[in-house]
């Protein structure tokens, strides 16, 4: 186990493009760190630099204080699980898992002991003599995990390990990985483009965009206090709604109504009137009929023409248009473009999505009374994309 | 249903007749040679396909003659050595070509192809003179070198195609697992490219084994003369007798190693060896 420190780590390709620029991060011993971001954000490059498959152009990478920039992958004692598992097809499951130990010239008895223990943990004991071709996707995934854990490495690196599994298996393996990491307490760096995985698995999550770290924080922190529009839009499903807003005389004017600016936001936005972007999570919207009188006062009640209803069983997603809503800043437009490759609700910018209680009787085509909880509305600067807040 | 089965039967008949025709066409001369080799000298010209009387006298006689046994030894040695060297070299070259980015890569590939297209007849003359002046004339090495030259391009192209099919990630995985680049190559890449290695080996072996042009030009004695060349030196029991029976027997003997080689390696050339490596 080790502590991994990245200091000003940069990856520059020969053509001058920076895939990763100036990443500073400290991954504590035994920590489960997630690198998340849309495709092309540099997260896999960063992972490859940690394991040594890619050179570091600039900056320092340290394991437990020791600089390892120049060490080849085989000297770093880290294990990696690849997106496509990369099992050796000509070797049995047993030999696949034993491969790193054989290279390290571990004696046979020890190899057998470690492989069998890993197989027991991963429930692969019956399949040890099979070839990878005869295994299901989930089993192959587990063999890849097994090959990683037999080495007792200083760190696990996982590169989108679940993206090749079907939805059901993915959820199951997600829990399994989480349990495994809890049990082994090995420092783990996990790359994914799926914000759900990031939120459910990680102790801390680093959100990357275009090679730059946007925010490193716990999932709760990311969700409740995103530092900028990108993180706010990326984390959470369905995504956060962005509405054009204007600050006028201590009031926040949203398309659906106004409310007084909260005290702690006042110092951050400064004096004077200005345009801002308001971020509203779907769950901040509720069917007004279901909101108690006590709460009504701390929000805006308005009517909206419901376009689409998605009934999920435990909840209800209602989509409606808001006049003047949509991409009001270049930032939003750019981010929407970035996120398109991930999972942004169709036309995310024009439509507002509300997560309503399943008891709601709102139907499609209705004009419904909705209530917006203004206590947790986030405000962003339309030019810089930064969140306007006095502190974290 | 009835229409379907009639159609199915027709299609079957078509393929069966086609296959039989090809097999008959290809194997008749071989069978004829076999038949000749088994006929006693007196009935060689009787024109019968199935010999009236079977004798192994020709086989016995060719092995009595020292030059055939030594030619056989030369053939086996030279062909195997040429195969081994060519395959090892081609494996390294193909790996570099498919995995590394270096200047002149395309040039090497097209150059190799050009070598393969070169007519051998145009170089045997110069080679004959060169080999005599540097002392390679009538030696094993003198034959192994041209065999390698002419088979390397094909072997490189074949192997490069196989290497390209192997997922990059396997190599990265091996490296992360603690393998040096050479260990990754030897323990992961080569085993996976085994079908390609064997394909290349068969091609090289057949070329070296069957070659007549270089063998007849670059050898003069039993020290390096291979079977195809030595068959021209068979003589009959008397000057009035054609050595037909002996040549037929030698032709059959010389075919056997090729058949064995192909049968042995054919088992290795199984498709889908890489399935299960990565998802898909």
Could you report the predicted ipTM of this complex, rounded to two decimals?
A: 0.77
Please give the DSSP secondary-structure letter assigned to residue B26.
H
Distance CA A380, CA A225 (A): 11
If asked whether residues B127 and B256 sit together in one domain, one would say yes
Residue spans of alpha helices (H) in chain A: 43-51, 73-76, 93-103, 108-121, 137-149, 167-184, 195-201, 219-224, 229-234, 263-269, 293-296, 330-339
Q: Is residue B32 part of a domain?
A: yes
Distance CA A343, CA A239 (A): 8
If asked whether residues B104 and B30 sit together in one domain, one would say no
If asked whether residues B30 and B78 sit together in one domain, one would say no
Lateral strand order in the sheet of A274-280: A257-260, A251-254, A241-248, A274-280, A378-380
If asked whether residues B152 and B38 sit together in one domain, one would say no
Domain that holds residue B210: 65-275
Looking at the complex, does the CB of residue A72 fall below 8 Å from at least one CB of chain B? Answer: yes
Distance CA B244, CA A17 (A): 75
Average pLDDT over residues A303-320: 90
pLDDT reading at B211 higher than 50: yes
Burial class from Cβ neighbours inside 10 Å (0-12, 13-18, 19+) for residue B249 reads buried
pLDDT reading at B238 higher than 70: no
Distance CA B224, CA B74 (A): 6
If asked whether residues B12 and B98 sit together in one domain, one would say no
If asked whether residues B94 and B178 sit together in one domain, one would say yes
Q: Is residue B84 part of a domain?
A: yes
Q: Which of A47, A75, A86, A159 to mutate to test the interface with B (most CBs of B within 10 A)?
A: A86
Q: Is residue B56 part of a domain?
A: no
CATH number for B72: 1.10.3720.10
Q: Is residue B120 part of a domain?
A: yes
If asked whether residues B184 and B241 sit together in one domain, one would say yes
If asked whether residues B17 and B72 sit together in one domain, one would say no
Distance CA A159, CA A178 (A): 15
Q: Is residue B190 part of a domain?
A: yes
Query: Nearest residue on chain A to B178, judged by CA atoms?
Result: A74
If asked whether residues B20 and B99 sit together in one domain, one would say no
Contact call for residues A251 and A260 (beta carbons, < 8 A): yes
Q: Is residue B55 part of a domain?
A: no
Which tops the pLDDT comparison, A350 or B6?
A: B6
If asked whether residues B33 and B131 sit together in one domain, one would say no
A51/B276 Cβ within 8 A: no
Q: By 3-state DSSP, what share of chain B in percent is helix, strand and coil, each rounded to 5?
A: 75, 0, 25
pLDDT for B79:
94
If asked whether residues B17 and B81 sit together in one domain, one would say no
Q: Is the omega angle on the peptide bond into residue B236 within 30 degrees of 0, that is, cis? A: no
Query: Nearest residue on chain B to A104, judged by CA atoms?
Result: B178
For A236, phi and psi rounded to 5 degrees? 105, 140
Q: Is residue B227 part of a domain?
A: yes
Average pLDDT over residues A31-45: 90
pLDDT reading at A282 higher than 60: yes
Contact call for residues A164 and A86 (beta carbons, < 8 A): no
Neighbours of A56 (CB within 10 A): 21
A-chain CB neighbours of B169 within 8 Å are 82-84, 86
Q: Is residue B58 part of a domain?
A: no
* HSE, side-chain direction, 13 A CA sphere, residue B240: 0
pLDDT for B101:
83
Average pLDDT over residues A220-233: 92
Burial class from Cβ neighbours inside 10 Å (0-12, 13-18, 19+) for residue A262 reads middle
A74/B179 Cβ within 8 A: yes
Which tops the pLDDT comparison, A210 or B277?
A: A210
Distance CA B215, CA B218 (A): 6
Please choose, from the candidates A67, A73, A64, A79, the residue with its C-alpha nearest in 3D space to the C-alpha of residue A2: A64
pLDDT tens-digit readout, B134-167: 999 999 999 999 999 899 998 998 888 888 888 8
Contact call for residues A175 and A182 (beta carbons, < 8 A): no
Q: How many domains is chain B built from?
A: 2
Confidence of residue A9 (pLDDT cuts 50, 70, 90): very high
If asked whether residues B140 and B203 sit together in one domain, one would say yes
Confidence of residue B202 (pLDDT cuts 50, 70, 90): confident
């Amino acid at each position: 186990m080790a502590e991994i420190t990245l200091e000003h780590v940069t990856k520059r390709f020969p053509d001058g493009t920076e895939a990763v620029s100036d990443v500073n991060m400290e991954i504590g011993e035994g920590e489960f760190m997630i690198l998340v971001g849309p495709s092309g954000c540099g997260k896999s490059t960063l992972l490859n630099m940690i394991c040594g498959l890619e050179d570091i152009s600039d900056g320092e990478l340290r394991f437990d204080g020791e600089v390892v920039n120049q060490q080849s992958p085989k000297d770093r004692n880290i294990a990696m699980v690849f997106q496509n598992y990369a099992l050796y097809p000509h070797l049995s499951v047993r030999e696949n898992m034993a491969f790193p130990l054989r290279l390290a010239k571990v004696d046979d008895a020890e190899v057998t002991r470690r492989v069998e223990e890993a197989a027991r943990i991963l429930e692969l004991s019956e399949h040890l003599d099979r070839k990878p071709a005869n295994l299901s996707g989930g089993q192959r995934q587990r063999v890849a995990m097994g090959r990683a854990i037999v080495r007792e490495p200083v760190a696990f690196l996982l590169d989108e390990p679940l993206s090749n599994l079907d939805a059901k298996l993915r959820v199951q393996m997600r829990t399994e990985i989480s349990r495994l990491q809890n049990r082994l307490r090995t420092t783990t760096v996990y790359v994914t483009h799926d914000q759900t995985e990031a939120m459910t698995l990680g102790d801390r999550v680093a959100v990357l965009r275009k090679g730059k770290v946007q925010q490193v924080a716990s999932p709760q922190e990311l969700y409740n206090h995103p530092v900028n529009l990108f993180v706010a839009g990326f984390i959470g499903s369905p995504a956060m709604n962005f509405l054009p807003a204007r600050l006028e005389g201590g009031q926040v004017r949203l398309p659906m109504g106004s409310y007084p600016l909260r005290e702690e936001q006042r110092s951050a936005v400064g004096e004077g009137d200005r345009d801002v972007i308001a971020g509203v999570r779907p769950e901040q919207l509720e069917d007004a009929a279901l909101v108690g009188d006590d709460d009504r006062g701390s929000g805006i009640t308005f009517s909206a023409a419901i376009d689409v209803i998605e009934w999920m069983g435990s909840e209800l997603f209602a989509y409606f248009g808001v006049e003047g809503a949509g991409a009001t800043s270049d930032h939003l437009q750019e981010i929407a473009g970035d996120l398109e490759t991930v999972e942004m609700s169709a036309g995310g910018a024009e439509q507002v999505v509300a997560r309503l209680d399943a008891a709601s009787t709102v139907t499609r085509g209705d004009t419904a009374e909705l209530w917006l909880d203004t206590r947790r509305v986030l405000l962003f600067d339309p030019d810089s994309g930064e969140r306007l807040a006095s502190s974290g | 249903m009835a229409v379907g089965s009639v159609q199915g039967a027709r299609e079957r008949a078509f393929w069966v007749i086609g296959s039989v025709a090809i097999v008959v066409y290809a194997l008749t001369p071989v069978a004829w040679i076999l038949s000749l080799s088994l006929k006693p000298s007196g009935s060689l010209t009787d024109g019968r396909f199935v010999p009236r009387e079977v004798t192994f006298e020709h086989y016995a006689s060719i092995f009595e003659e020292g030059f055939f046994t030594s030619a056989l030894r030369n053939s086996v040695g030279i062909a195997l050595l040429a195969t081994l060297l060519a395959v090892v070299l081609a494996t390294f070259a193909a790996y570099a070509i498919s995995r590394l980015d270096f200047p002149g890569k395309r040039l090497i590939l097209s150059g190799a192809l050009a070598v393969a297209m070169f007519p051998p007849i145009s170089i045997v003359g110069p080679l004959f003179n060169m080999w005599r002046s540097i002392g390679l004339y009538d030696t094993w090495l003198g034959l192994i070198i041209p065999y390698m030259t002419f088979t390397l391009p094909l072997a490189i192209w074949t192997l490069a195609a196989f290497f390209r099919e192997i997922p990059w990630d396997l190599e990265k995985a091996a490296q992360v697992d603690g393998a040096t680049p050479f260990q990754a190559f030897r323990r992961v890449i080569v085993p996976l490219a085994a079908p390609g290695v064997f394909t290349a080996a068969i091609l090289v072996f057949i070329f070296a084994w069957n070659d007549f042009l270089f063998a007849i030009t670059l050898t003069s004695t039993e020290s390096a003369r291979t079977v195809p060349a030595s068959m021209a030196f068979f003589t009959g029991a008397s000057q009035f007798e054609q050595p037909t029976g002996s040549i037929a027997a030698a032709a059959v003997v010389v075919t056997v190693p090729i058949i064995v080689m192909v049968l042995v390696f054919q088992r290795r050339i199984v498709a889908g060896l890489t399935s299960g490596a990565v998802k898909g």
